[in-house]
């Protein structure tokens, strides 16, 4: 069980211009230190997505700088099955699927190894991210995710979860829900064509649809946020700006604090490597801070010195 009470939490990925996981160009120790010194003033929990060099550097900065931060460390698992329902791909040659099965097992072992190396910083583990939802391009059978959960729990003794959109938890992931120590859901009203005025009620509905299905399990929101730009791909441009992000953030945090729900805001900083090349691609603009580490409107009151 994740026994942390209520803490402010945020998703962190520190890639800057010219850096990306795909290119294998990672933020430096100095850059990550700069980021974490900003984040520690507001958040105690951060979520990381994989066990590559980026995560290792983050964990090393926390240790060496003696930062008061705890980490939900994730494993990145790739496709083990084809998914023709994915709108942008999701179908692979069989030899690539076989290769990914081997790589996924290696990633889980890295997850376990990092948990052993940084026991004072890692408070919980996730064995994957959005790998079972109907639109994913990296589909993994639920039985394999269950295997990964069992392996991580047995090897580390830490609380283990799996991070996924709220919908699969309704039925598809019922067996997995029995295995994890807490359930992790993602909820993005703006991706489902909600305006900011209806967004909190929609988030609450998403959350309760899972929490009421599994009353014996703690439910954590591991992704919720509001992008500030859109080129129209999936999100009407008129639904997003810094004012809307600010309002959603305020309402979400008030509700989560009242209810004691841990929610990892998505995300700390804008990342220009994500999505398409269009400058207003929504995937690039979910940060509460810009690429140059300036606070957006939602953060002005908390970080006036960063202007």
What domains are defined for the chain?
9-306 (3.20.20.80)
- Residues in contact with 167: Cβ distance below 8 Å, sequence separation at least 6, in sequence order: 133, 134
Name the residue among 150, 140, 143, 158 with its Cα closest to residue 71.
158
pLDDT bracket for residue 3 (50, 70, 90): low
156-209 pLDDT tens trace:
999 999 999 999 999 999 999 999 999 999 999 999 999 999 999 999 999 999
Tokens at 87, concatenated: 């709108």
Q: Which two tokens stand for residue 300?
A: 């002005």
Dist CA 194 CA 292 (whole Å): 29
Quote the CA–CA distance of 12 and 16 in Å, as a whole number.
Answer: 12
Q: What is the DSSP letter of 189?
A: G
Strand 122-129 to strand 219-224: parallel, antiparallel, or no bridges (unpaired)?
Answer: unpaired
Q: Report yes or no: 103 and 117 within 8 Å, Cβ to Cβ.
A: no
- pLDDT, one tens digit per residue, over 115-135 is 999 999 999 999 999 999 999
Residue given tokens 């705890």 in the structure block:
70
Tens digits of residue pLDDT in 275-291: 999 999 999 999 999 99
């Amino acid at each position: 069980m994740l026994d942390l009470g209520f803490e402010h939490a945020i998703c962190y990925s520190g890639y800057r211009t010219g850096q990306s996981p795909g290119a294998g160009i990672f933020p430096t120790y100095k850059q990550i230190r700069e980021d974490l010194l900003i984040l520690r003033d507001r958040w105690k929990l951060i979520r990381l997505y994989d066990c590559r060099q980026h995560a290792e550097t983050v964990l090393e900065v926390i240790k060496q700088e003696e930062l008061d931060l705890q980490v939900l460390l994730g494993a990145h698992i790739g496709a083990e099955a084809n998914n023709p329902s994915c709108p942008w791909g999701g179908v692979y040659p069989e030899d690539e699927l076989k290769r990914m099965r081997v790589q996924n097992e290696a990633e889980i072992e890295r997850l376990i190894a990092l948990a052993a190396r940084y026991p004072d910083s890692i408070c919980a583990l996730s064995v994957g991210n959005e790998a079972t939802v109907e639109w994913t391009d990296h589909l993994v059978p639920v039985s394999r995710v269950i295997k990964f959960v069992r392996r991580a729990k047995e090897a580390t003794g830490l609380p283990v979860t799996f991070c996924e959109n709220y919908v699969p938890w309704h039925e598809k992931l019922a067996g997995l829900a029995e295995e994890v120590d807490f359930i992790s859901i993602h909820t993005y009203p703006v991706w489902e064509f909600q305006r900011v005025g209806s967004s909190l009620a929609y988030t609450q509905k998403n959350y309760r649809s899972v929490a009421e299905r599994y009353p014996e399990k703690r439910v954590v929101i591991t992704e919720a946020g509001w992008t500030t730009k859109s080129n129209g791909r999936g999100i009407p441009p008129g639904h997003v700006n810094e004012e809307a992000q600010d309002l959603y953030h305020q309402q979400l945090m008030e509700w989560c604090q009242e209810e004691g729900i841990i929610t990892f805001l998505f995300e700390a900083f804008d990342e220009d490597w994500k999505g398409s090349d269009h400058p207003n691609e929504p995937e690039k603009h979910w940060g509460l801070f810009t690429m140059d580490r300036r606070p957006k409107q939602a953060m002005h009151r908390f970080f006036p010195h960063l202007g």
